[in-house]
């Protein structure tokens, strides 16, 4: 069985984000990028499944330009066998469905039996693409999984349901599973792995290679688009109340009633 891992390049979580003049995109100058943290759990799980004899090959799938190659090489250095990068001008302006259509076409072309992806991307926080991929491929889907078992053509997935409750979901492969923290501990790339990754292939695919109509992706096909983006409004400075306990309590109650209007 082949396992496909969806890897997305995202700004590092400690990077200060700035937007362009017309507030339609982030400025990438001086922005450090990394593999989406939740996708790291997906990759690690795929590598462990292969090591356990449950898979024959681990392939990563990324949508983007050549600037994503360092992150793809990172995935290869950690142990993925090869990578597919989908890069086509027609993809510009795609919404989640357009992205899912491109990834699903690439996954289908490779005959992947299990798709693993992070539960969400930390830049957009949409959590939509994996579920859409499952729908497009016509297969089972389970999200936010923190324990996964594969036996033959079946899988058992577990996840937290809140309040200490655990959900156990069983199904048949092929399937799409999104990964949560606690599933494993992602490994780092080793020096030998980094050297080996230089020789591993990154296949760059156009929409025509995937038999995907350009009219089904891109800004023209998008049902959702960003109108603008920007920094959150600055929080007002806090106020420190001074005095004895009785006067502070009285002033606090007055502020909560008259200004905050929460009581």
SS3 assignment for 105-167:
HHHHHHCCCEEEEECCCCCCCCCCHHHHHHHHHCCEEEEEECEEEEECCEEEEEEEEECCEEE
Would you say residue 227 lies in a domain?
A: no
For position 104, what pLDDT does the model report?
98
For position 132, what pLDDT does the model report?
98
CATH of residue 167: 3.40.50.620
Would you say residue 256 lies in a domain?
A: no
> Can you give the residue range of the structural domain that contains 52?
2-216
Would you say residue 10 lies in a domain?
A: yes
Would you say residue 243 lies in a domain?
A: no
Say how many domains are in the chain: 1
For position 176, what pLDDT does the model report?
98
Helix (H, G, I), strand (E, B) or coil at 176: strand
| Angle, CA 69 vertex, CA 71 and CA 112 arms, to 5° | 80
Would you say residue 239 lies in a domain?
A: no
Strands (E), the chain: 2-6, 9-11, 33-35, 57-63, 82-86, 114-118, 140-145, 147-151, 154-162, 165-172, 175-179, 202-205
Task: Find residue 149's DSSP bridge partners.
Answer: 156
Give 26's DSSP letter: B
pTM reported for the whole predicted model: 0.86
- Helices 69-78 and 37-51: crossing angle in degrees, nearest 10, is 30
Q: How many CA atoms lie within 13 A of 213 on its CB side?
A: 4
Residue 174 preceded by cis peptide, ω within 30:
yes
Q: Residue ranges of the chain with pLDDT lower than 50?
A: none
CA distance 14 to 204: 30
For position 62, what pLDDT does the model report?
98
Would you say residue 150 lies in a domain?
A: yes
**pLDDT, tens only, 127-181:** 999 999 999 999 999 999 999 999 999 999 999 998 889 999 999 999 999 999 9
Would you say residue 250 lies in a domain?
A: no
**pLDDT, tens only, 186-196:** 999 999 999 99
Would you say residue 244 lies in a domain?
A: no
Nearest to 85 by CA among 170, 209, 215: 209
For position 100, what pLDDT does the model report?
97
For position 177, what pLDDT does the model report?
98
């Amino acid at each position: 069985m082949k396992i496909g891992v969806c890897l997305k390049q995202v700004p590092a979580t400690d990077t200060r984000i700035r937007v362009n003049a017309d507030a339609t995109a982030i400025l990438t100058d001086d922005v450090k990028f990394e593999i989406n943290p939740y996708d790291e759990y997906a990759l690690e799980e795929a590598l462990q499944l292969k090591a356990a004899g449950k898979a024959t090959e681990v392939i990563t799938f990324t949508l983007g330009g050549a600037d994503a190659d360092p992150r793809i090489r990172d995935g290869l250095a950690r142990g993925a066998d090869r990578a597919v990068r989908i890069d086509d001008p027609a993809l510009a302006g795609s919404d989640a469905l357009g992205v899912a259509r491109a990834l699903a076409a690439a996954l289908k072309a490779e005959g992947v039996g299990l798709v693993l992806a992070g539960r969400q991307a930390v830049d957009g926080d949409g959590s939509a693409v994996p579920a859409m991929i499952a729908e497009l491929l016509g297969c089972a889907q389970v999200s936010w999984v923190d324990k996964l078992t594969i036996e033959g053509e079946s899988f058992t997935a577990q996840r937290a349901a809140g309040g200490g409750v655990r959900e156990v979901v069983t199904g048949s492969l092929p399937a799409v599973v999104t990964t949560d923290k606690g599933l494993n501990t992602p490994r780092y790339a080793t020096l030998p792995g980094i050297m080996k990754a230089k020789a591993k292939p990154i296949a760059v695919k156009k929409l025509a290679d995937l038999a995907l109509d350009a009219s089904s992706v891109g800004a023209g096909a998008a049902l959702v688009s960003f109108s603008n983006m920007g920094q959150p409004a600055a929080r007002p400075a806090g106020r420190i109340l001074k005095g004895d306990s009785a006067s502070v309590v009285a002033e606090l109650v007055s502020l909560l009633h008259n200004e905050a209007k929460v009581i």
